[in-house]
Amino acid sequence: MRVKFEIVSNNKIELPFSHSPVQQGLIYSFLENEAAEWLHNQGFEYEKRSFKMLTFSDIIERGFPNHKEKRLTFPDGQISFYVASPVDWILQQSAQNLITSEKIQFGSNDAYVSSVSVLRQDKITSGKIRVKTLSPITMHSTFEKPDGKKVTHYYSPFEDDFEELLRTNLHKKWQSLYRENCPYDNFSIKPMFATNRKEKIRYFKGTLIKGWTGMFEIEGDPKLLQFALDAGLGDRNSQGYGMVEMVK
């Protein structure tokens, strides 16, 4: 399931360059208190990992950057973005409470939700599809150096481990949600570009994160591909990474 949130203000909307926490906060704040607390603190568990089972896109509209203040301005006072999840109640609850609220606080902006729409999705019938990113795909590992310090490595789509780690990550999400081993072993992802210009470096609450945007070809069982579109590809999905849409 995926929905589109449209937010309007009577004034211009201003957001920091790193505004995905604002989007994430909006989604969480309109869940019921008990549900929001459970999702934030526990979520869908797999061994020592916890998955939130939601992902969201970058803001669709293009803002005007102020590099000195590190802010984006949307002079029309309108922004929108997509949210996806394989767990319908997460989106239904958040969307229902958002659309019935008189006003919201979106970052430092007084605003209101003008529309929440459920998006039509074409059924995936092929074992190979092309997708484009709506937010960067990121995948990382943390290693400990001989001196005890930890270092984070973000994988490029041109590294062999990128595909294997995304496959493993997708299978873990499946097991955490359905409480069974994923029956679909095969999964592959290939970038449809050959340049490092697609790398995006951003920050989430002070943490540097590297991700990749562009067109990809993914292959696997149609049910697994649909799950990937709903749950997100890679890690940090609930922080606004890994949302993709199928391209015909």
Tokens of 215: 């067109």
Say what the pLDDT of residue 183 is: 96
- Domain extent for 172: 128-247
Say what the pLDDT of residue 144 is: 85
**Is 123 domain-assigned?**
no
Give the pLDDT band (50/70/90) at residue 99: confident
Give the pLDDT band (50/70/90) at residue 130: very high
Q: Is 178 a catalytic residue?
A: no
Tokens of 240: 């606004």
- pTM score > 0.85 for this model? yes
Give the pLDDT band (50/70/90) at residue 48: confident
Q: What is the CATH number of the domain that holds 15?
A: 3.30.70.1890
In this prediction, what percent of the chain has a pLDDT beyond 90? 76
Distance CA 140, CA 165 (A): 9
Distance CA 57, CA 55 (A): 7
Final residue belonging to a domain, choices 88, 118, 148: 118
For the stretch 143-175, pLDDT in tens is: 888 888 889 999 999 998 999 999 999 999 999
For the stretch 7-42, pLDDT in tens is: 999 999 999 999 999 999 999 888 888 888 898 888
What average pLDDT does the structure give for the chain? 93
First to last CA, the chain: 19
For the stretch 226-248, pLDDT in tens is: 999 999 999 999 999 999 999 98
Over residues 137-145, mean pLDDT: 92
Final residue belonging to a domain, choices 80, 97, 118: 118
Over residues 175-195, mean pLDDT: 94
Could you give the number of structural domains in the chain? Answer: 2
Find out whether 39 and 61 touch, Cβ atoms under 8 Å.
Answer: no
- Together in a domain, 105 and 25: yes
With 0-12 CB in 10 A as exposed, 13-18 as middle and 19+ as buried, what is 179?
A: exposed
- Together in a domain, 12 and 100: yes
Among residues 97, 117, 105, 134, the alpha carbon closest in space to that of 13 is found at: 105
Say what the pLDDT of residue 236 is: 96
Distance CA 243, CA 248 (A): 17
Among 19, 28, 82, 171, the one annotated catalytic = 28
Say what the pLDDT of residue 187 is: 97
- Together in a domain, 40 and 151: no
Say what the pLDDT of residue 122 is: 83
Among 40, 46, 112, 203, the one annotated catalytic = 40
Distance CA 189, CA 22 (A): 30
E-assigned strands of the chain? 2-8, 13-16, 44-46, 49-51, 55-56, 64-66, 71-74, 78-84, 104-106, 109-118, 128-133, 140-144, 150-154, 187-191, 199-204, 207-212, 215-220, 244-247
In this prediction, what percent of the chain has a pLDDT beyond 70? 100
Q: Is 28 a catalytic residue?
A: yes
Range in 78-82, 176-180, 201-205 with the lowest mean pLDDT: 201-205
- Together in a domain, 132 and 236: yes
